[in-house]
Amino acid sequence: MSAPAATADGSVTVRVVRAVDESGTYSPVLNPGLAGVTVTLTGEDGAVKTAVTAADGTVTLKPAKATTSGKYRVQVVNPKPGVLYPAFAAREGLTGAPDKLSSNEEFVDLSAGKQATLTTGLWNPSDYCQQNAPLSTACQPSVADPAGKRTLLTFPYQSRGMNKDVTDIGTVGDTGNVFGIAWNRDDQRLFSSAQAKRDAPYGSGGPGAIYVTDPATKATKLFATVPNVGSTPHTAGGDVGYLTAVGRESLGGLKLTEDNRDLYVVNLNDRKLYRYDATAATAAKPKAVYAIPAPDCPSAADWRPYGLGMQDGTGYVGGVCSGESTQKLADLRAVVFPFDPATGEFGAAVLNQPLDHRGAPAAPCSGYYWYPWTNTKPGTGTCYYYGQPELGEIGFETDGSMLLSFRDRYSDQTSASAVPGAEFIVSAASGDLNKACKSGDSYVLDVNLGCGITTRGKGFFNTFRIGHTYATFAGMALSKVENSIATSGYDVLEHAWSAGTLFTLRNGAPDPGMGQELSTGAASFGKGASMADLEVLCDRAPLQIGNRVWYDPERSGLQLPQQKPVVGATVNLYDADGKKVGTTKTTARGEYYFDDTNVTGGLKPKTAYTIRLDNAADYAKGGPLHHWVPTKANVGADRAVDSDGTVPKGGKYVERALTTGGPGQNDHTFDFGFSRQQGELRLVKNDQDGKPLPGAVFQLWRESGKSDGLQQDGDTADAKVGEPCTTGADGTCRTVTDQGTYYWQEVTPPKGYQTPEQPVLGPVVLDDEHLEAGVTTTAVNKLVPPPPPTTPAPTPTPTPAAPAPSQPSGGLAFTGTDSTTLKYALIGGTALLVAGAGLLIAVRKRRTG
């Protein structure tokens, strides 16, 4: 009867998600899968299977071929190094809840058909935000408002109600009217920029002003003045000149790069992108100015850039073809260009979509439609609705879809409430919040059948308030750890003529809390635009470092699939002054991590630390590292799978000095491999008087375990250990090797000494108890007898011959000494081996049969 066939190795399913927080856990709501990520599965034989994640971020891999152990290494290949980093891994390991995030390198057992599932993540540190972070916006003042009335303010992201938990941080006197808002999370400064708006005077810095505010002290000063922004003056009696200046002069979107080093702003007058040093206290001039490319609008003058976005190392400028030159609805388009924030180089448009989805009105002012831009009051009577699109803000969801917040230019042409004058306009803003999803290399708006929408004109988001279909308008802010999107709007709590922040769930439904009403009674511009952009005041992303400690019996210096983790070893973290600031133990998977949860004062970015495995108990008997020593460091080019620890000169324990990366730049490549401790075997060659004999040549053999005694050939042959060794002036050969049973074979005797009749010494046993001291074997050689004399000697009286020394059994050494010599004495098959300060008696019996 034949044995049943062995079960084939199983498969592993890997889910790669985009993480946004430091929890080390996976949430299907907040962490969508990442498509197109390469994942590899490597066996102990080095065979690699490669596959790419599907749209949901998952991929299932079967081994390229089965291996002896059934153990495999899983690695996620980062698609955007330097932009994306490993997400926080579960500090306590993967045992327990299925929502734990693993590191980007893991090990799985697929033997005997086993199935494995792993969830791991990547993140962009700029996606990080703390829960319920402050949200900042500004109330836009009218010419009738006093200098002490608030503009800039903050409130907790989750606050809903009427002026609930609001902190005022700026006034009309500080900033005048602003729209753009940007936050530097590194130095905790808030930037805001001027906007051309009818009946809304500029601050002291004029139409090109960028202000900077410290929310902690509520101090505001002028940061920079953008040149060439237009010069239309505000005038009394209706401020009619601003019917034309809106959207054409002053400044549009304001955005910081993801590293918080550069501040970008759109100049609406010259339609260029200005770049300033965001780390400076103030900026006298821009670092660079870049011309924004123009799409194929009917007239060059129709191109009106406005909003900005940043995502994954790429900047985005958005605008509209205004249709102003033709007054045709078909000529209204939204366009978004990407650019490189480091160089200002623009790429081809990634979004170029028509804005005719609302249809054509039967007559002007007849409802919520998009209209081509105009610079005069529509009609002669009251015209509430004449929406003219401005692409005011660009954001991105964690799934990569684009968010576009449109502002209604007409709502900024609206007259201030209770400020009569010529061409008086009362409006109901008609902005929008839209989603655009990837289709090939470009994005398609929801209203144009993108994002799975099947009815043209239907948007993804519901921003309805008391009869107003589009109660939202730019700005916009998204904290990716929250379940809602914040936009500016009116009647947010369904109180007529009010203004504030409108919240919409990220799944498109209205937020149950509706919003935060920020006007006190009627807003300065009624149902027109009375609010600026929004920005979440997120903290710097936290950091995590560490990863794995493992046993490397192969001494490869690499994390091989079949190797075992070191469990329960203590890992300590020291600061640059040598003070211990963190301690942890390796998990069941051999992993360890340091972050704010276990580092005193928090793990700091761009800071020197040393990781050290220096707990003496771990190396003592019973400890996880007893008789294990650091393996080779820095083998190969893949930092994720090598060993990083070394013992410094004069030191005792393995360590790794490092400097952390920037905020959120997690590094899980600080690994420590340990190989079996080796012991020293020493062969000491003396003459019969104890004098060291140099020049003896020995070959060391390791017993294979198949047969006792030295076997030099055949199926049971033992293995040579290195090259032959020649005794030095001290008569000693030395070699450091693994635990096992060995034989010394004398290949060549010292000059002038006899070749032993039995040149094999052993067995020599190097076991766990003798690793520290090693094992010394002493052998003795006799001098070659002098040649017989040429003159015949007298015949001596015969005497009985002494018996020749007998060869011991068991293949033990025979040196030609007599039974009274104890340098290497053979007593009936027993070898006396000096081990450290004592004697090790190794007794081996030859197998019979």
List, for residues 257-289, the tens digit of each pLDDT value: 999 999 999 999 999 999 999 999 999 999 999
When pLDDT is cut at 50, 70 and 90, the band that residue 418 belongs to is confident
The answer on pLDDT for 832 being more than 70 is: no
Position 777 in a domain? yes
Same domain membership, residue 673 and residue 683:
no
Listed range (82-86, 147-151, 374-378, 819-823) with the worst mean pLDDT = 819-823
Residue burial 792-813, b: 16+ Cβ < 10 Å; e: rest = eeeeeeeeeeeeeeeebebbbb
Query: Mean per-residue pLDDT for 114-130?
Result: 97
What's the Cα-to-Cα distance from 692 to each of 726, 729, 780, 831, 836, rounded to whole Å? 13, 7, 9, 20, 18
Average pLDDT over residues 685-705: 93
How many CA atoms lie within 13 Å of 607's alpha carbon, on the beta-carbon side? 19
User: Would you state the pLDDT for residue 186?
Assistant: 97
pLDDT at 182: 98
In a domain, 794, yes or no: no
The type of residue at 428 is: A
Give the whole-angstrom CA distance, residue 201 versus residue 209.
Answer: 12
Alpha helices in 482-633 (DSSP H): 616-619
Distance separating alpha carbons of residues 737 and 771, to the nearest angstrom: 10
- Smallest Cα–Cα separation from 22: which of 120, 114, 129? 129
Last residue of a domain, one of 645, 677, 709: 677
Beta bridge partner(s), residue 119: 15
Complete DSSP assignment for 47-70: -EEEEE--TTSEEEE--SS--SS-
- Confidence class for position 180, pLDDT limits 50, 70, 90: very high
pLDDT in tens, 548-604: 999 999 999 999 999 999 999 999 999 999 999 999 999 999 999 999 999 999 999
How high is the pLDDT of residue 795? 65
What are the start-end ranges of the E strands in 518-600?
535-536, 544-551, 570-575, 580-585, 591-595
What's the burial of 422, exposed, middle or buried (CB within 10 Å: 0-12/13-18/19+)?
Answer: exposed
Q: What are phi and psi of 347, to 5 degrees?
A: -110, 180
With contact defined as beta carbons under 8 Å apart, do 813 and 807 qualify?
no
Final residue of a domain: which of 79, 104, 128?
128
Q: Please tell me the pTM assigned to this model.
A: 0.88
- Same domain as 154, residue 113: no
Specify the CATH number for the domain of residue 832: 2.60.40.10
The CATH number that applies at residue 509 is 2.120.10.30
Q: How far apart (Å, rounded) are the C-alpha atoms in residues 584 and 578?
A: 17
Predicted pLDDT at 792: 63
Looking at the fold, whether 694 and 631 belong to one and the same domain comes out as: no
Instruction: Give the integer Cα–Cα distance in Å for 430 and 367.
Output: 9
Strand partners, 663: none
Could you tell me if 571 and 500 lie in one domain?
Answer: no
Asked if residue 739 has pLDDT above 70, the reply is: yes
∠ CA 616-620-621 to the nearest 5 degrees?
165
Alpha-carbon torsion, ordered 490, 494, 495, 497, to 10 deg: 30
Q: What are phi and psi of 769, to 5 degrees?
A: -75, -15
- Write down which residue in 95, 128, 161 finishes a domain: 128
The enclosing H or E element of 172 equals helix 172-175
Query: From CA 846, how far away is CA 849, in angstroms rounded?
Result: 10
Secondary structure letter of residue 125 according to DSSP = G
Q: Domain for residue 364, yes or no? A: yes
Please report, as a single letter, which amino acid is at residue 376.
T
Q: Which residue is associated with the tokens 């040549």?
A: 697
The amino acid occupying position 475 is: G
Establish if 800 belongs to a structural domain. no
- Within this chain, do residues 313 and 395 fall inside the same structural domain, yes or no? yes
Task: Please give the Cα distance from 564 to 535 (Å, whole number).
Answer: 48
Residues 672 and 683 occupy one common structural domain: no
Verify that 490 and 610 share a domain, yes or no.
no
Query: What pLDDT band is residue 351 in, cutting at 50, 70 and 90?
Result: very high
pLDDT, position 543:
98
Q: How far apart are CA 702 and CA 758, in angstroms?
A: 18
Percent of the chain topping pLDDT 90:
86
Classify burial at 153, counting beta carbons within 10 Å of its beta carbon; exposed 0-12, middle 13-18, buried 19 or more.
Answer: buried
Q: List, as own/partner pairs, every contact residues 719-722 make where C-beta atoms lie below 8 angstroms and the sequence separation is at least 24, other chains included.
A: none
Cβ neighbours of residue 711 closer than 8 Å, sequence gap 6 or more: 704, 717, 718
Q: Residue 839: its pLDDT value, please?
A: 32
CA distance 354 to 352: 7
**Calpha distance 248→255 (Å, rounded):** 19
Let me know if residue 635 belongs to a domain: yes
Q: Residue 757's pLDDT is what?
A: 84
In total, how many domains does the chain have? 4
Tell me, yes or no, whether 790 lies in a domain. Answer: no
pLDDT for 688 equals: 86
What average pLDDT is seen over the chain? 91
Closest CA to 337 of 312, 308, 313: 308
Same domain, 426 and 374: yes
How far apart CA 192 and CA 196 sit, in angstroms, is 13
CA atoms within 13 A on the CB side of 674: 24
pLDDT digits (tens, 9 = 90+) for 775-800: 999 999 888 888 777 666 666 666 55
Encoded amino acid at 117, one letter: T
Can you spell out the DSSP letters for 296-356? --SSGGGEEEEEEEEETTEEEEEEEE--TTTT-GGG-EEEEEEE-TTT--B---SEEEE--
Residue 426 belongs to some domain of the structure = yes
Is residue 13 located within the same domain as residue 89?
A: yes
**For residue 743, what are the contacts with CB-CB under 8 A and spacing of at least 6?**
700, 701, 703, 709, 710, 718, 760, 761, 762, 763, 764, 811
Domain annotation covers residue 849: no
Q: Which residues contact 715 (CB under 8 A, 6 or more apart)?
A: 706
pLDDT mean over 158-171: 98
**Alpha carbons 268 and 681: distance in angstroms, whole number:** 81
The verdict on 299 and 416 lying in the same domain is yes
Q: Are residues 577 and 663 in the same domain?
A: yes
Shared domain for 714 and 565, answered yes or no, is no
768 secondary structure, DSSP code = G
The domain in which residue 321 lies consists of: 134-536
Hey, CA dihedral for 662, 665, 666, 670, is it positive or negative?
negative
DSSP string covering 6-36: PPPP--EEEEEEE--SSS-B--TTT-PBPTT
Closest CA to 306 of 431, 461, 202, 484: 431
Query: What values do phi and psi take at 447, rounded to 5?
Result: -70, -10
